[in-house]
Chains A and B, each alone.
Chain A
Amino acid sequence: MSNNRTRRYLTGSLLPILIALGWQAATGMALFTPAILPSMDRVFKSFVEMAASGQLAEDVLVSLSRVVKGYVVAVALGVVMGTFMGMSDFLHNFFSLTLNAIRQIPILAWIPLIILWFGIGEESKIAVIVLGAYFPVLVNTISGIRQTPQGYVEVARLYRLSRWTVFRKVYLPSALPQIFVGMKLGLGISWVAVVASELIAASAGIGFRISDARSLMQADVVIVGMIVIGVLGLLMDKALSLVFHKATPWTR
C-alpha cells in the first residue's frame, strides 16, 4: 500500500520537475527577456526578499482570511439552500430557473455592481468570493440530495421517522460525497474570486500583489504570487480531502 503511494507521489512530481528543468534551460539559453520570463533564481530571490520583509506573510494572511470568510459563508448558504431545494420539488422548481441563469454570469461581470452595492471595502471582496463559491456547492448539494436512493427513504418511512431525522440519517449522509465534490470545486473558485476581488481597490493580498507587480513590470513577483496561490490552494484541497475521508468512513 505505502509503496504504491510513494510511487504515485513520485509519478506526480515528475511533471513539476520537468517544467522546472525546461524553465531553467529556457532562461539559461536566454530564450526570453527577464521581463517576460525571469530565471528561477530571480524568482526564488524575490520570494526570499518578500518573505524576509514580511510582505509575503501579510499578503497571504489577507487573502487567506478573505477566502476563508467568503468560502465559509458560501458553503453554509449552498448546503442549506441546496438541501431545501433537493428535498422540496416546489422550492426546486421555484428557484432553479433563476439560479441557473444567474450561475451563467461570470464573476468578473458582477464586480461593477458589487462595488456599487458594497463599496470598495472588505464586504465587496468577500461578496465576490461568496458568489463564486456558492454555485458549485449549491448545485452539487441539490444533486446529491436528489440522488438519495428512494429505497432508503422508504425504509425511513416504515419507521415514521421525523423529517429532520430522515434528513440527518438518510439524505445528508447519502449526499455527503457529492456535497464534498461541490465544496472542493467551491474552494478552487474561491481562489479565482479572491484574485479578481483584489483588483478592487485593495492595498494588500496576493491578488493585489500580482496586479501591482504587473503594472511595475515585475514578472518575478507575479510568478511568486502565482506559485504561492497554487501551493496554498493545493494544501487546502488536500486538507479538505483528509477531512472528507475521516467524515465518510463507510466509503473506504
Chain B
Amino acid sequence: MLKIKGLDKRFLVNGREVVALQNIDLDVKKGEFITIVGHSGCGKSTLLKIIAGLQSQDVGTITCHDRQILGPGTDRGMVFQEHRLLPWLTIRENVGFGLQGIDRKEKERLVEDHLRLVQLEGFGDAYPKQLSGGMAQRAAIARGLVNNPEVLLLDEPFGALDALTRIQMQKEVLRIWEEEKTTMILVTHDIDEAIYLGQRIVVMSARPGEIKAVIPVESSNAKDRGSTEFASIKKRVLRHFFAEEEWAAVEYAI
C-alpha cells in the first residue's frame, strides 16, 4: 500500500551537509504494524515527516495506493512524542481538530466514537493540561485516527511517559490496531517496544541514515516479553548496533 523507493534527504547544518536519509526502500502492507528502531539522529523523525508530507525528500518517491505523496493529507495521521494538543481547545475540540468540512452531527459522532476508542469518554470537556501524560497521548492518538487515515505515523509516542504508563499504552495501541485495522508505523528507540508492537522491525543506522535490516516478528509467542522468541529477536536487533569486538560482552549481558 505504502511504497517508499530510493529516498534521500540531506540537511545543511552550519554549512555542512548532513545525510539524514540515504536510499530508503520500504513497502508497507495494508493493515501492517511496522516499528522503526535506531539511534537518535538516524533520521527516523525525518522519514515519518516525509511520509506525512510535512517535509519533502531530495530524491526518491513515496506512493500511497499508487498515488504520489506530495504534501500532507487526511489519508495519513500523525502522533508526536509531545502530545501537541492545543492547550486552548478542550479534548473534544482537539480530537475533532482535523475534521473539516463535514456535517456537525457526523463530526460529533466521530469524535465521541474516538474518545470511546481511546477510553476517554467523560473527559471531552477537560483541557489538555488537566490530563495525565498517558491520557493526553491517548487523546492525540484519537485525533490522529478521527479522519480514518490509511496509515497512522507515531514518532516515539511514549518516549515521554513513565515506564508503567508506557507498557499500558503499548497494550492500548495494540488493541486499537486490532480494532481499527489501521496501518501503523511507529518509531521508537525502545527495542522491547519495537518487538512487542511490530510485525516487522526496521533497524536503522545513523550517518548516513540507512535501513540496516528488516526483522520479521512471526511467532505470536514473541509478544510475550518472557519468551525465548522475544529474547532471540532482541538479540537479532541488538546485533546491528554493536561492532564485532563489542558484541561478545553485550551478548553476555542480555
Q: How far is the CA of A165 from the CA of B128 in the complex (A)?
A: 20
B100 contact set on A, CB distance < 8 A? 159, 161, 165
Q: How far is the CA of A154 from the CA of B147 in the complex (A)?
A: 17
- Given A159-B97, A161-B100: A250 and B84 interface contact (C-beta under 8 Å): no
Contacting pair B86 A170 (CB below 8 A): yes
A251 contact set on B, CB distance < 8 A? 87
Nearest to A157 among chain B residues (CB) is B72
A170 contact set on B, CB distance < 8 A? 86
| B106: min CB distance to chain A, Å | 16
A238 contact set on B, CB distance < 8 A? none
A42 contact set on B, CB distance < 8 A? none
B74 contact set on A, CB distance < 8 A? 159-160
- Given A158-B72, A158-B98, A160-B72: A152 and B86 interface contact (C-beta under 8 Å): yes
Contacting pair A160 B73 (CB below 8 A): yes
Contacting pair A250 B71 (CB below 8 A): no
Contacting pair A151 B73 (CB below 8 A): no
Number of A-B contacts (CB under 8 A): 50
A161 contact set on B, CB distance < 8 A? 100
Contacting pair A154 B54 (CB below 8 A): yes
Q: Which of B49-81 contact A (CB under 8 A)?
A: 52-54, 71-74, 76-78, 80
Interface size class of A (residues with CB under 8 A): 10 to 19
Q: Mark B154-173, 1 if CB is under 8 A from A, else 0.
A: 00000000000000000000
Nearest to A252 among chain B residues (CB) is B127
Contacting pair A152 B72 (CB below 8 A): no
Contacting pair B86 A151 (CB below 8 A): no
Nearest to A156 among chain B residues (CB) is B97
Q: How far is the CA of A151 from the CA of B80 in the complex (A)?
A: 9
Nearest to A161 among chain B residues (CB) is B100
Asked if B252 is at the interface of the complex by the 8 Å CB criterion, the answer is no
Q: How far is the CA of A170 from the CA of B98 in the complex (A)?
A: 13
- Given A157-B72, A159-B97, A159-B98: A248 and B80 interface contact (C-beta under 8 Å): no
Asked if A155 is at the interface of the complex by the 8 Å CB criterion, the answer is yes
B129 contact set on A, CB distance < 8 A? 250
B88 contact set on A, CB distance < 8 A? 173-174, 176, 248, 250
Main secondary structure of the interface of A (DSSP, over half): helix
Contacting pair A155 B97 (CB below 8 A): yes
- Given A151-B84, A250-B129: A160 and B71 interface contact (C-beta under 8 Å): yes
Asked if B82 is at the interface of the complex by the 8 Å CB criterion, the answer is yes
Asked if A7 is at the interface of the complex by the 8 Å CB criterion, the answer is no
| B152: min CB distance to chain A, Å | 12
B76 contact set on A, CB distance < 8 A? 158
Q: Which of A148-183 contact B (CB under 8 A)?
A: 151-152, 154-155, 157-161, 165, 169-170, 173-174, 176
Contacting pair B84 A152 (CB below 8 A): yes
Q: How far is the CA of A154 from the CA of B72 in the complex (A)?
A: 10
Name, among A151, A157, A170, A250, the residue most crowded by chain B CB atoms within 10 Å (CB to CB): A250
- Given A169-B97, A250-B127, A250-B129: A158 and B87 interface contact (C-beta under 8 Å): no
A248 contact set on B, CB distance < 8 A? 88
| A201: min CB distance to chain B, Å | 47
| A4: min CB distance to chain B, Å | 22
Q: How far is the CA of A176 from the CA of B97 in the complex (A)?
A: 19
B71 contact set on A, CB distance < 8 A? 160
B52 contact set on A, CB distance < 8 A? 158
- Selected from B54, B82, B147, the residue in CB contact (under 8 A) with A157 is B54
Q: How far is the CA of A32 from the CA of B127 in the complex (A)?
A: 59
| B248: min CB distance to chain A, Å | 43
A174 contact set on B, CB distance < 8 A? 88
Name, among B76, B98, B129, the residue most crowded by chain A CB atoms within 10 Å (CB to CB): B98
Nearest to A155 among chain B residues (CB) is B84
Contacting pair B86 A173 (CB below 8 A): yes
| A131: min CB distance to chain B, Å | 32
Provide 27 A-B residue pairs closer than 8 Å at the C-beta atoms, listed in order of the A residue. Answer: A151-B80, A151-B82, A151-B84, A154-B54, A155-B80, A157-B72, A158-B52, A158-B53, A158-B72, A158-B77, A158-B78, A159-B72, A159-B74, A159-B97, A160-B71, A160-B72, A160-B73, A169-B86, A169-B97, A170-B86, A173-B86, A173-B88, A248-B88, A250-B87, A250-B89, A250-B128, A251-B87
Residues of A whose CB lies within 8 Å of any CB of B are 151-152, 154-155, 157-161, 165, 169-170, 173-174, 176, 248-251
Apart from A151-B80, A159-B147, what 8 extra A-B contacts exist at CB < 8 Å?
A151-B84, A152-B86, A154-B54, A155-B86, A158-B72, A158-B76, A169-B86, A248-B88
